[in-house]
A and B are shown apart, each in its own frame.
Chain A
Amino acid sequence: MSLKNKRGALRLAAFAAVAALALAGCTSTAGGTAAGSSGPIAKEDLVLVASVINTTNPYFIANIEGAKALSKKLDIPLEIIDSQGSSQTEISKIQAILAQGKKVVMFVNTVASSDTPTIVDAVKRAGGYVSIWWNKPDNFEPWDSGDNFVAFQKHPGVDSGRCNAKAIGDALGGKGNVIMFPGVQDSTTSQTRVAGFEAEMRENYPGIKILENQPSNWDPQLANQNAKDLIAKYGDQINGVWSADDGMQLGAIQAFDDAGLLDKVKFASDGLYPDTVAMMKEGYGNNAIVGETFHRGYMASAIGLYTAYLAATGEIVPSELPKEKRTSFFDIKCVTPDTLDDYLKYDSPTAAADFVDQLVENGPWDTEPATLTGGGGPEVMPKP
C-alpha cells in the first residue's frame, strides 16, 4: 500500500469510528427518552450519580467512597462528577449525564447554595431523583418542587460550632483568647458553625474573648498564612484556635508549631479527619487538639443516594413524608480525646461497606452514628 493509500485508509477508519460512536450515542439517548418519567423505575434502568466539589479534599474523597459502596451493595452502576470547585463545571457535567437519557439517582454536594434550583430543575425534567447535601437557599424547600427533589440533608452547623466551643472553653478553664478560621465567608455551612461557636462562648464561657476571625476559604495554605499573620499580631495572647474544618486546622497547627507556640495553644475543629485522629492519638503538641466533631463523607453520600433511590423505585413517596424527612439534619457527634476510641471503627477499611449494610437494613433515617435529629426547615440560628 502506498503512503497516500495508507493515509486514506486511516482517515476512513477514523471516520468509521467517529460515526459508530455518534450512532451509539444517539441510540442510548433515544432509548432513554422512551422510558416513562414518572412512577417507579425498574432497578436495571437506574444509574447512581455522585457529584462532589473536588477530588482532592479528604471529605469529598470519602463521599465517593460511600457512593461506591452503595453502588456495589445495590448492584447499580455509578458515575462520579468532579465539579473542580466550580458551579459552572458542576452544572454542565450534570446536564451532560442527564442528556445521556438514563434515569439518575443523584447525590450532589453543591458547590454553592444557588446551584440547587438549577440542578433540581434539570433532574426533574429528565425524570431523575436527587438529594442535595450541605448547601441550598433557605427558601427553596423540597416540598415546593415535587417528588424529584427528594431531600435536602446536612449535619447541623450550629451543633458543630457549639461542640467545638465547649471543648476549647473547658480546656482553657473558661478563661482566655481565641481566634477563628471560618471557611468561605458566604457558605451557610461555615456561617452556622461560626454562629454556634460564638453563641456557646457568649452564653456559657463569658471569660473567653474572641480576638478575631479570618475566613480562610477551606484552604489549608491560606489558613497557614492567616495564622502566621495573627501570631505576628497577637503573639502569645492566643490561647485557643477554632477552624471550620480539619483541613484549615492542619494549616493553622503548622503555623503555631513553626512559631514554637504549639504547647500552649488548644485547637478544636470539625470533621475528625483520619489525620486528626492520628494526631489526637499521639497527643501531638502537648495534646493540642482538644475537641472535634465527627461525621464522615461516606455516610453523607450513602444516605443521600439511598434516599433518592428509595424514591426512584417507589419505596417511599417523598410528598407523603413528614417535612423533617425532606429537609433533614443528621446527628453530629462531639468527640474528645477520651471518647476518640469509640470512633476508630468508622475508619476501618470496610467501614463504608459496613455502614451501607446497616443503611439498607435500617433505612436512611435510623442508621448509627448518623441518625435523623431534626429538620423540617432552615437551621435555626442562635440569637445574637
Chain B
Amino acid sequence: MVNKVLSEQGAGGITTTAIRIRESGIERRARFRSLAEPLSLLVALAVLIGVFSLLNERFLTASNVQNILTQSAIPLIVAVGATLVILLGSIDLSVEGVMGATGMTWILLSANSRGGVDLGPWAWVIALGVALLLGVASGLIFTALKVPSFIVTLGMWYVGLGIATMLYGTDLLPRLEDEGLKGWTSRISLGLPNSFWVALLVIGLGILVLRSTRIGRVTLAIGNSETIVRSAGLPAFRVKVAVFAIAAVLSGLGGILATVQLDIGSPTVGSGVLFIVIPAVVIGGTHLSGGKGGILRTVLGVFLLTILNNGLILSGVESSYQSAVTGAILVAAIVFAAWSQRDRLRVAK
C-alpha cells in the first residue's frame, strides 16, 4: 500500500482524488458501523421474539406485550439517567438506594395504611426533592472532591437505603390507600400501560436533552475528552453535577412508580434494578468509557433483558436452569450485536 501511495505521488491530481475516495470509504464504513450495531441488536431481538412466540403462542398476545411493556417501564426510566451518566464516562450505582428513599418518602406522605399526612401532589415534589438532593450530593462530591463516581455513588446507594430504612422504622408495611393510584402503572390507556407512557415521555425528553441542549452536547464532549472541554471553557463542572441530579430524579421517579406498582412501601423496592439498567446500557452499545452511545440503544438493551426474562418463563424453562440459560443467551446476543464492531484496532476493556 505504501508503494502504491508513493507511486501515485507523481501525479498530484490523482493523489488528492485517491485520498478523497479513501476518506469517503472510511466515512461510509463508519456510518455503516454506527447503524450496524443497533441493527444487529434489533435482529437479535427479533430472533428472540420469533423463537419465544414459536415456543408459546401466548407470548405475542396483546396482554403479554402489555405485561412486557409494564415490566420494562421502570428500568427504562432509570436507564435514561444511567445512559447520561455513562456517556460522561462515569457510573451511577446509587440507583436502588435512591429508589428506596424516594419511594418510601412518597408513600409515607401519601394516603397510606399507616395514616399520617396525605400531601397529595406535594408528596411527589418532596420525594423527588429527596432524590434531587442525593443526586446533587453525589455530583458535587464527585466533581468538587474528585472522588471516583463509582465510590461516591456506591456510598450514596447505602445512604439512600439508610434513609429508606429509617423512614420505614418498625411499623406495619405502608400500603397505598389512594384507590385512583392503586394499579395505575399497569392500567391501559390508548393501548399502552400508563407506566410505559411515562417511560416514553422520559425517553423523549432524554433524547431531546442529549441532542439539542448544551448539557447534552457537553456531556458527550466530556465523555470524549474532559481536558479539551475544560480548556475550551465549557462548564464541565456544572454539567456533571446536573447529569447526576437528572439521573437521581429519574431513579426517584422509578422508585415512586415501583411503589405504586407493588402497592406497598419497601426500602428495597428497587432491588435488582441496577443489574438490569447498567447491562442494558452496555448491551445497547454505549461505551463505559463515555462519549459514545445513546438513549435509543439503551431502550433496545432494556427490551432485550425484559423479553428474555419473560420469554424464558413463558416457554417453560425449568427455573433451576433459567439463570444459566439467561446468561448464555445474553452473551450470544451481545456477541452477535457487537460483531460489526470487531476491528483489529478496537480495544475492549
Contact = CB atoms under 8 A, between A and B. Distances in A.
Contact of A219 (B71, B268, B309): B268
B63 interface: yes
A157 interface: no
Contacts of B313: 214, 226, 229-230, 233
A235 B58 contact: yes
B314 A58 contact: no
24 contacts: A54-B268, A55-B165, A56-B267, A213-B319, A214-B313, A215-B319, A220-B264, A221-B266, A221-B269, A221-B271, A222-B272, A226-B313, A231-B67, A233-B58, A235-B63, A250-B264, A251-B262, A254-B262, A254-B263, A258-B187, A273-B173, A274-B172, A275-B173, A278-B113
B336 interface: no
A220 B262 contact: yes
A226 B319 CA distance: 11
B319 A219 contact: no
Nearest to A234: B58
A250 B67 contact: no
A56 B183 contact: no
Interface in A206-221: 212-215, 219-221
Given A220-B264, A232-B58, A275-B172, 13 more contacts: A56-B268, A65-B170, A219-B272, A220-B262, A221-B258, A225-B309, A226-B313, A232-B61, A232-B314, A254-B261, A254-B262, A258-B186, A259-B186
Contacts of A222: 271-272
Interface of A: 54-56, 58, 61, 64-65, 185, 212-215, 219-222, 224-226, 228-233, 235, 250-251, 254, 257-259, 273-275, 278
Contact of A233 (B56, B70, B113, B170): B56
A220 B309 CA distance: 17
Contact of A275 (B61, B168, B264, B271): B264
B231 to A, nearest CB: 35
Interface residues of B, number: 38
Among A213, A225, A226, A278, residue most surrounded by chain B Cβ atoms (within 10 Å):
A225
B289 interface: no
B185 to A, nearest CB: 8
Nearest to A85: B268
Nearest to B176: A254
Which secondary structure dominates chain A's binding surface?
helix
Interface in B88-131: 113
Nearest to B64: A232
B64 A221 contact: no
Given A56-B267, A251-B262, A229 B314 contact: yes
A274 B266 CA distance: 15
B145 to A, nearest CB: 20
Interface string B293-319: 000000000000000011001101001
A7 to B, nearest CB: 20
A258 B183 contact: yes
B67 A56 contact: no
Given A212-B316, A251-B262, A257 B271 contact: no
B7 interface: no
A212 B186 CA distance: 24
A237 to B, nearest CB: 11
Given A235-B58, A258-B183, A228 B319 contact: no
Contacts of B310: 229, 232
A267 B175 CA distance: 19
Contacts of B262: 220-221, 224, 250-251, 254
B193 to A, nearest CB: 10
Nearest to A233: B314
A257 B261 CA distance: 11
Nearest to B158: A84
Contacts of A225: 71, 309
A254 B175 CA distance: 11
A361 B154 CA distance: 48
A276 B128 CA distance: 30
